[in-house]
Structure 1
């Protein structure tokens, strides 16, 4: 994957702008937030999310340490 190229950086910036815009819409428009909540409720059937990871699993914080 060429994650160091200009094309990749532009793609990441675009994705970040889309995510930020969506977050802004959800925080500033009550109707949009309620619609998202309804859609989430319908999609999940009201079931809470359960992680498939075991409780003792920890992120590898040292994987980039030198």
Structure 2
């Protein structure tokens, strides 16, 4: 939930930036949850060199989780 809310407010964040903002989440846990959110379609990922940047998929959020966009 915190990851989705963060990405709804700040787009185009890489793994490291998400981890820095959440502070208390272990890297392996963050990686697992980002994969789950990406697989579900709620967030999109885009590879840029060796970095992967994440964004909320606004169409999916509007349909299934509109509170993220409020």
More relative contact order in 1 or in 2 (CA 8 Å, sep 6+)? 2
Max radius of gyration: which structure?
1
Normalising by the residue count of structure 1, what TM-score does the alignment of the two structures yield? 0.30
More strand by percentage: 2
Normalising by the residue count of structure 2, what TM-score does the alignment of the two structures yield? 0.29
